[in-house]
Chain A
Amino acid sequence: MAINWFKYSAPTTFYGLAGKLIPWFAFSAALLFVIGLYIGFAVAPVDAQQGEFYRIIFIHVPASILSMFLYLVMAGYAALGLIFNTRLSAMMATAIAPTGALFAFISLWTGALWGKPMWGAWWVWDARLTSELILLFLYLGFIALHASIDDPRRADRASALLAIVGSVNVPIIYFSVKWWNTLHQGSTIKYTGTSMHVAMQQAMFIVLLACWLYAIAVVLARVRSIILERERNTVWINELPEVRS
């Protein structure tokens, strides 16, 4: 049984496949969100130290994890596109960037809202929050560079190189920010002061899964639009039922 993976790496077949998969991903994402939030708010007990406020983690932690992972995935696709010159990988990288940036934004926003009742300030220059902010800047740089180059091929390749340079830099940035933070001992914050209840872990994990599925659905939908736009002069696009009607 050899599945021909290259078949699906061509925009032609991928377009149809993605179209079929999107509803499944979207539906299961919505379902898991509801389940996760139900466990998070109805089953998980109140935290002894942080009270009800800790319930922000069910969205905060998944959003942070996804924003970081999506950057790596984006850089991976960018590298694939640059090395093997595959059209689809570059399109995937472009489609991932906005979603990653939005997750970084959600992570910062919920982090700030968590910080206010916990530490008495909306923003603390803690190593994680600061790195997350820099990650958002990296996403915005990628999007801005891609948007300001008119030639799609150059845009793909230039922003791919930027994503790779950025992903090499991310560990260095994280390390330096952590170092900087320990040097100024003003704000050392422990997120996990108490051991987490099982229901809390379950809720967080399920919401994380939901966020993954959501991200896949949105990225696939976006990539379909990009394929349509880029390949609009080809025969197969003009033969598509949604175009013909």
Chain B
Amino acid sequence: MLGLLALVIRRDLVLAMRRRADILTTLIFFVMVVSLFPLGVGPEMEMLRRMAAGVLWVAALLSSMLSLGRLFSADYQDGTLEQMMLAPQSLSMLVLGKMTAHWMVSGLPLVLMAPVLGLQFDMPAQALGILIVGLLLGTPVLSMIGAIGAALTLGLRGGGVLLSLLVLPLCIPVLIFGTGAVEAITAGLSVASHLSLLGALLVLALVFTPWVTAQALRISME
């Protein structure tokens, strides 16, 4: 079971490494969106400091949408996905592997990049720390919810925009708890409840989304 998971993750990571440009585009998009905000709203540090968490989270949300289309499409086009569905191993497990690999390729870089961007907004160190913890807990959920949308829109024309339309409303709780945690620490309150709610979302997503995504893939492939 775990061997299979590791195998799928390693395979997807190797494939992703062959197309490093894709990873970079997502990251550059993230940096650009975040950098556009001060240009749009003005350079007052006080305001930027207050907006920082929200801006970073929304930008992370948008950039994770960007790479979702690629989650299954390559495997769908070359027929690998069909083989995976015929395989005796559980499809949910394979899907979980693909989700994990996708997060490592598109979510993790954003998390690592976030502190640098946070400094642009003059975020205090404490708030930055919580932002990172929140992103670490939250971005996997985005990848997992996004996978459902990616499976449902597999092979459709105009899939990318449609995908965002389906997935973004479902991601709102992650956004709220993620930014809420940063605001709580800035206000000197406890962040335990926000982070544990994010953790609960992560556990829920881990339990349900692989299975739901597998069902969605079956619907899209039949």
Q: Per the CB under 8 Å rule, do A and B touch in the complex?
A: yes
Interface residues of A, Cβ cutoff 8 Å to B: 134, 137-138, 140-141, 144-145, 148-149, 154, 157-158, 161-162, 165-166, 168-169, 172-173, 175-177, 179-180, 183
Cα A144 to Cα B163 in complex, Å, equals 10
CB distance from B183 to the nearest CB of A (A): 7
Known: A157-B219, A176-B177, A180-B180. A169 touches B170 (CB 8 A): yes
Known: A137-B169, A158-B216, A177-B172. A165 touches B162 (CB 8 A): no
Number of A-B contacts (CB under 8 A): 70
* Residues in B whose Cβ lies below 8 Å from that of A183: 180, 183-184
15 additional A-B pairs beyond A154-B220, A157-B219, A176-B173, beta carbons within 8 Å, are A134-B169, A137-B169, A141-B169, A144-B165, A145-B162, A145-B166, A158-B216, A158-B219, A158-B220, A161-B148, A161-B216, A162-B148, A173-B169, A176-B177, A179-B180
* Residues in A whose Cβ lies below 8 Å from that of B18: none
- Indicate whether B156 reaches chain A with its CB closer than 8 angstroms: yes
Which residue of the partner chain A has the closest CB to B159?
A148
Number of interface residues of B (CB under 8 A): 28
Label chain A's interface by main secondary structure.
helix
Residue from A138, A149, A158, A175 within 8 A of B169 (CB atoms):
A138
What are 10 A-B contacts defined by CB distance under 8 Å?
A: A134-B169, A137-B165, A144-B166, A148-B153, A154-B219, A165-B212, A169-B170, A173-B169, A173-B170, A180-B180
CB distance from B92 to the nearest CB of A (A): 14
Interface residues of B, Cβ cutoff 8 Å to A: 148, 152-153, 156-158, 162, 165-166, 168-170, 172-173, 176-177, 180, 183-184, 197, 201, 208, 212, 215-216, 219-220, 222
The interface centre, meaning the residue of B148, B152, B201 with most chain A CB atoms within 10 A of its CB, is B152
The interface centre, meaning the residue of B162, B173, B177, B180 with most chain A CB atoms within 10 A of its CB, is B173
**Do A176 and B162 touch across chains, with their CB atoms under 8 A apart?**
no
Cα A160 to Cα B166 in complex, Å, equals 13
* Residues in B whose Cβ lies below 8 Å from that of A141: 165-166, 169
**Do A173 and B173 touch across chains, with their CB atoms under 8 A apart?**
yes
CB distance from A75 to the nearest CB of B (A): 14
Known: A145-B162, A149-B156, A161-B152. A176 touches B212 (CB 8 A): no
Cα A148 to Cα B168 in complex, Å, equals 18
**Do B177 and A148 touch across chains, with their CB atoms under 8 A apart?**
no
The interface centre, meaning the residue of B157, B168, B172, B197 with most chain A CB atoms within 10 A of its CB, is B172
* Residues in B whose Cβ lies below 8 Å from that of A169: 170, 173
CB distance from B163 to the nearest CB of A (A): 10
Cα A141 to Cα B173 in complex, Å, equals 17
The interface centre, meaning the residue of A138, A140, A177, A183 with most chain B CB atoms within 10 A of its CB, is A183
Cα A165 to Cα B168 in complex, Å, equals 13
